[in-house]
Structure 1
Amino acid sequence: LPGDGYSSEEHDVFTTAGRTCIEEGHSPQVLSIVLDEKNQNLIRSLGWNLLPPLIQVLLKKEDKNLPQCLAMFNHLMETCRPKELLIGLLEQLEHDDPDGIANRLHLLLSPLQKVLLSLGSRKASSLGMTLSSVLDQLAKLPVPGTKEQEEDDIFSLCRCCAELMDFVRPFVLEARQSGRARGDSCKSLGGLGGDNEDELQTELLKFCMKALSQPLLEVQLRDPDTLPLSPLRAFATEILDIVSAIGESLPALVFLPLLKRKQVPGFLEEEVRYPKTSLASLAHLVFVHHLAADTFPSVFSPVFCLRGNLEHVSLLLSRTEDLGLLKGLVSYRVFLLVCVCV
């Protein structure tokens, strides 16, 4: 590792020996080495390489050396450099088995949050990478198809969504309090984007746009009358709250097809920043499920609402999966009924 004072050969010897000892059940001996004061420079530089076998033990839970491995893991979290810890933890986040995904998220989100918070003002890009990785893992979990499945959380998606919100909350608070939010024009109907937006807000916006597309576009939310305490509805509500908290105007986003700036050839920033699929999902949440509806001015006419959402409805109707098509039909019916009743 650059600047750590250890050769690549020493790095390989430490990694191989340490991992092998942990895997073969010699964690107490490794723990004594890790805690030895004389070895702290070594552990600070190379200790993060022990994360893979330690995390495997922590996931199994029934291992006889669990206390020693937990103590070792906690010491590494306190001692190793944040950059290397972040790399090591994210590598262990990847998994294809649904049960494995939920357990890994449960174990690793809190340590990841701690590492990111320790990065201070340099955390934005690392936070964005972490949030993207977590959403990629969530996308592999099955979606509850019935009220009972959501209540029982048989696929662990609800628990993972709740833990993800706990994870992101301090970063949203920091973005809200940063004092570098965009100006008043960015909070009006015509204000989207802005040169003064900080990197943390940018990464949180990317996260919200991605979450609106997946998993929220694939989830069938249930009304409060059907399911008073819906974890997935709570997740969707918090995503919209984050969008508002970082200075974005929900009405401006929903009506972007009518209000977007003059098109410039080759200018893709707006479409990349505000993916059409994410905006269609947002419109469905607002007008069909009435989430964050109180943020919309009552002066909007039904015809204006219909015109502003035709592109969103068309996108949903063009999707091949049944749920996407159903959401498009429901959205179209809602807007037509509003116009007819006026």
Structure 2
Amino acid sequence: MTAAEAAAAASNLRATLETLTTEAFRPDLAEIDKLPTLALARTMNAEDATVPPAVAAQLPRIADAIDALTPRMARGGRLVYAGAGTAGRLGVLDASECPPTFNTDPATVVGLIAGGPTALTRAVEGAEDSAELARADLDALSLGPEDTLIGISASGRTPYAVGAVEHARALGALTIGLACNTGSPLAAAAHHRIEVVVGPELLTGSTRLKAGTAQKLVLNLISTITMIRLGKTYGNLMVDLRSTNDKLRARAHRIVALATGAPDEEIEAALTATGGEVKHAILVLLGGVDAPEAARLLTAAHGHLRAALTHTR
């Protein structure tokens, strides 16, 4: 790119940013640095309070996306997040929380961030501007038709996120675009568009604030409800959690207690017999079966505890 072309591109980008709601300047907040700390905290908190209603306006679209991706995951498909900067970090965060919370294979929910792991803690120059990098990252995963790709970008214009959605769609994957501006190229490229308009930020252009909060809320909705649909819970109990430390082992015991009402010694015996598997232990106690039979019933029920219980009565 010549110097003239680079200057023209920069000018066009500046012009584009001026049209984005997430980049808008708030004159009414121009002197917030003069406010007492408590008043500033109240101002920021009031701004944050506008995010849940903005997410609520998109719930029908979020539900449609979940209903489309869940059958794919039930057949072994993966859920992949792709974004740059804050958006990418939020995707990586949500993906990393699925194995301990829902006992998923780490390869089942994957977070991709432009620039790779280094970009989690420091900016990687030029990474977010590369659609080619997104295509390479998806090809490394061998993305296919049973997979789902969620591109995340506050502006809805980030080349890495848009490129990821476009390439995933070309590969036959289900695609979802999550942005915080209407009419975004990201949403337009996806099968399902989710555009949570939170308005200008407290700090002009700092989309780790309201936009980041909105993205986190939407990702929480998508991953949690999908896992509920996949049978990873029993009511509101996390029966597929992975007991990898003392806190989680104590939580596993408590979950079995809440689900069954059994005495502590029976719960410990069931957890020991099932290798610490919460769902299996509950089935042993409520269904009156041994550990191998609990495992067989859950396999036949595709991991759904309620369905497995119907075959013990």
* TM-score, normalising length: structure 1: 0.25
When normalised by structure 2's length, the TM-score is 0.27
Question: Which structure shows the bigger proportion of residues in strand conformation?
Answer: 2
The structure whose residues are more often helix, as a share, is 1
Task: Flag the structure with more relative contact order, 1 or 2, with Cα contacts below 8 A and sequence separation at least 6.
Answer: 2
